[in-house]
Amino acid sequence: MGIIEKIKEIEAEMARTQKNKATEYHLGQLKAKIAKLRTQLLEPPKGSSGAGDGFEVTKFGHGRVALIGFPSVGKSTLLTLLTGTHSEAASYEFTTLTCIPGIIHYKDTKIQLLDLPGIIEGAAEGKGRGRQVIAVAKSSDIVLMVLDASKSEGHRQILTRELEAVGLRLNKRPPQIYFKKKKTGGISFNSTVPLTHVDEKLCYQILHEYKIHNAEVLFREDATVDDLIDVIEGNRKYMKCVYVYNKIDVIGIDDVDRLARQPNSIVISCNLKLNLDRLLARMWEEMGLVRIYSKPQGQQPDFTDPVVLSSGRGGCTVEDFCNHIHRNLIKDVKYVLVWGTSARHYPQHCGLGHALQDEDVVQIVKKKEKEDGGRGRFKSHSNAPARISDREKKAPLKT
């Protein structure tokens, strides 16, 4: 029996099983079985080199955005409008056969936009080019799920389900469960909050299903069985997703209003070029990019060429900025001077842990160097003394 048949069989068994206290352990085990089979399904076939034709798209620019959607929702048209790259648009399905990259130039940054082939129901089962589409989507910073505003709302649920089945978690944060496999000692199960979905027995059964007999599990939130499976699998990708409802030119104003009010959603019309600037702004915001302008001592910063960092979950610090310039630079940094919204006063002397914000200006002051002859002068990364002149302090820097 193939993997897909096995999954179908377990799904049928789950559908047959009544959900109550007595069956929850059995259902939990079945969920774990499905998760394991789905992971197997996503592994590339033996002997294949990986992604496949048209999918080995080199990363370029400061971030990557994937366009995902059913065929003929207007992804190619959107890509062409935003990037100027021509991706063949036609009113029949499956025109996009390979992955077509385009570059968006926005706020001094370059963002790679990928038009992925129309994802279809069943992609998670290995149908069509689902596996490749999903691999590229996982390598992106955010997903734009393009939907046809005039079609059924069910499309959004189908796509979300498909993406969940392959380990993509949209607009969710990782479950607050600490999990560590051990060599000995059995299973230690603890929680810092009362649990309503999972108990010790269920946790043991799921771990048993994965043949894990020694581990530490600590629930820091009232998580579900699915969350526990996600943590054990460890290969889930948590991504931001913006739902882009295209073709609002063909629906009524009430529907436009309803769609626009849904969380993480934006309404556009490629034909009328409506709301595309909002879409760009939203995309930028969700990517969490931070532009830092480096300022050589005694000179104005170059406001056309920022260092672009991703703020991610931990924010972006002076240390990240230095590592971006050169991996050995960090050893030589004495302190940095920061102008901008993250600074309390201008300039602020900051250490490596200082969290930078978008459009900050940074000047690196290096430690005393040996060839300095002990004269006590510090060098900035431009090799000039790091003393800040009055002229600089008054310099018209952006705040």
Ligand X SMILES: Nc1nc2c(ncn2[C@@H]2O[C@H](COP(=O)(O)OP(=O)(O)OP(=O)(O)O)[C@@H](O)[C@H]2O)c(=O)[nH]1
Positions that interact with ligand X (CB under 6 A) = 69, 71-77, 89-91, 93-96, 118, 246-247, 249-250, 269-271
Q: Measure the CA–CA gap between 372 and 366, rounded to whole angstroms.
A: 12
88 exposed, middle or buried (CB, 10 Å; 0-12, 13-18, 19+)? exposed
CB of 381 to ligand X, least distance (A): 46
CB of 273 to ligand X, least distance (A): 9
Nearer to ligand X, 7 or 79 (CB): 79
Q: Measure the CA–CA gap between 20 and 27, rounded to whole angstroms.
A: 10
The answer to whether 85 and 99 have CB atoms below 8 angstroms apart is: no
344 exposed, middle or buried (CB, 10 Å; 0-12, 13-18, 19+)? exposed
CB of 124 to ligand X, least distance (A): 18
Nearer to ligand X, 165 or 270 (CB): 270
Nearer to ligand X, 12 or 90 (CB): 90
Residue type, 206: I
The dihedral built from the CA positions of residue 192, 194, 200 and 202, taken in this order, carries a sign that is negative
Tokens of residue 165, six digits: 């089945």
Tokens of residue 25, six digits: 């352990």
Nearer to ligand X, 69 or 347 (CB): 69
Nearer to ligand X, 137 or 307 (CB): 137
How many angstroms separate the Cα of 168 from the Cα of each of 125, 137, 159, 395? 14, 9, 11, 47
CB of 289 to ligand X, least distance (A): 26
CB of 123 to ligand X, least distance (A): 13
CB of 94 to ligand X, least distance (A): 5
Identify which of 54, 128, 142, 46 has the alpha carbon closest to the alpha carbon of residue 98. Answer: 54
Nearer to ligand X, 118 or 340 (CB): 118
